[in-house]
Amino acid sequence: MNAFEYGDVAFSRGKQRLLDSYRAIPDGANVRLAKKTSNLFRKRADTTAPGLDVSELHRVISVDPEEQTAQVAGMCTYEDLVDATLHYGLAPLVVPQLKTITLGGAVTGLGIESTSFRNGLPHESVLEMEILTGSGDLIVATPDNEHRDLFFGFPNSYGTLGYSVRLKIRLEKVPPFVELRHVRVHSTRELQDLMARIADDREYRGERVDYLDGVVFTADEAYAVLGRQTDEPGPVSDYTDEQIYYRSIQHDGDEPKRDRLTIRDYLWRWDTDWFWCSRAFGAQNPRIRRFWPAKYLRSSFYWKLIGYDQRWDIGDKLNARKGLPPTERVVQDIEVPIERTADFVDWFLEEIPIEPLWLCPLKLAEPSPIGDDTTAQPWTLYPLQRGKFYVNVGFWSGVPVTPNRPGHTNRIIEQKVSELGGHKSLYSESFYSPEEFDDLYGGEAYDDLKRRYDPRGRLLGLYEKAVKRA
């Protein structure tokens, strides 16, 4: 056992505290987590009610290097999980972009990263889940036991069917370094077609591709970023201090620009500047950055700044002093079929003044836990077609509010995504009608799960949580 693992005894103690806290919540009161931090971008209703005590469910329980699996408590962050698994030369099959995302959060919500074109989404590497349901029962759900309906319905349920207490996940071997190629293209259509070929072939110009994502800066400046796992020694770059990763991607010329990172720095390459969002806090200004403590160049610190802004409307007050309108927050990740990527991005660049955009191809993992039926939709609340590539597009900024039309920009994005046969993640604000929401996110199948695992309605419903922000 290494220093990042804490074993069955401590985990059992944490489970008991969780159960005790559930029993202490008065009948009729909604059950929520008692946690101070969140990676959600939608405000939650203020409450003084006691919550579930998950304070001891934040570590890796064990890693089995022979089986290439890990047992992980639900509140364990990916930063701690990666530190534990890299000790054995292993990593989760998909590592979401930010260090403070928890494994349980990435499964009950959604996560994605540059391995998703070959490994799918984080919940697809889960072998079993131990879940505290709304009824207060601790159950173990697997793809083939009596709770398989919850196993396949849990992803994208956002804590409305229960909370993951323990997850067993598959891992993969990783060498110490990642060799990068930044391939410049001159149109979104060219980027779409290049990503589609690479996702299918898993190689580019005869060189294997293990990681695939991309960045769109403008309509005629975009990049596919290709990574290859390697144990070849050599110099590596460092983007954890004064240098900025996403700026290193840009270059002139048609030949790929090469770079190298350690595997750990590659997995967290976006976290130092929260992709490019740290510029909103001045952290990318060289005169400020040289004095910015390195320990605060990370997403968890920027989250605190966002929290202050949400609490006191700092940004809107500063805008008002300048005679500017308040800001509509446009922080979303959406997925469209890969062949509609350029249609969406071109529309977005024309209509919405936000850049850069992050692109990440994905396909549901194979083999699927539901077997060989290629027509079946395994994940109840976020149905994607098996065997089909999609592209996640991420954009995180704000635009001036449209007078008398609250949420206007977010609403037209939702409409466009649906028009193109896509979905959007629910970690941020949503504006769907109940009927639209049911069509996209489970409908009657979700209601059936709710009746079975939360019959007394102790947990909020998915529409209440995602749209009404209850």
182 token code pair: 């930044």
Residues 338 and 196 sit within 8 Å (Cβ to Cβ): yes
Residue 51 CB neighbours (<10 A): 17
Residue 317, pLDDT above cutoff 70? no
Distance, CA of 190 to CA of 465 (rounded, Å): 38
What is the pLDDT confidence band of residue 248, given thresholds at 50, 70 and 90?
A: very high
Q: What is the pLDDT of residues 119-128, one digit of tens each?
A: 999 999 999 9
pLDDT value for 4: 62
Whole-angstrom Cα distance, residue 194 to residue 338?
11
The backbone region for 89, taken as left when phi is positive above 0, alpha when psi lies in -120 to 50, beta otherwise, is: left
The residues that bridge with 11 in the sheet, in sequence order, are none
Contact 262, 237 (CB under 8 A): no
Amino acid in position 385: Q
- Domains located in the chain, CATH noted: 7-173 (3.30.465.10)
Using an 8 Å Cβ cutoff, are 366 and 93 in contact? no
Quick one: pLDDT at residue 37? 57
- Rg over alpha carbons for the chain, rounded to the nearest Å, is 22
Q: What percent of the chain has pLDDT over 90?
A: 80
What three-state secondary structure class fits 365? Answer: coil
- Model confidence at 74, pLDDT cuts 50, 70, 90, reads very high
Task: Write the CB contacts of 269 (distance below 8 Å, at least 6 apart in sequence).
Answer: 239, 245, 261
The tokens describing 314, both together, are 């700092």
Show the tokens assigned to 269.
């390459």
pLDDT tens, position by position, 295-304: 999 998 988 8
Q: What is the pLDDT of residue 127?
A: 96
DSSP string covering 68-132, please? TEEEEETT-BHHHHHHHHHTTTEEES---SSTT-BHHHHHHS----TTHHHH--GGGGEEEEEEE
**Average pLDDT in the 380-390 region?**
93
In 79-136, at which residue ranges do the beta strands (DSSP E only) sit?
90-92, 126-133
Q: Which amino acid is at 290?
A: R
Per-chain mean pLDDT for the chain: 91
Contact 213, 360 (CB under 8 A): yes
Asked if 441 and 462 touch (Cβ cutoff 8 Å), the reply is yes
Which tokens go with 274?
């929260």
CB distance 234 to 245 below 8 Å: no
For residue 359, give the 3-state DSSP assignment: strand
CA distance to 69, 366, 456, per residue, from 147 (Å): 21, 22, 19
Residues above pLDDT 70, as percent of the chain: 91
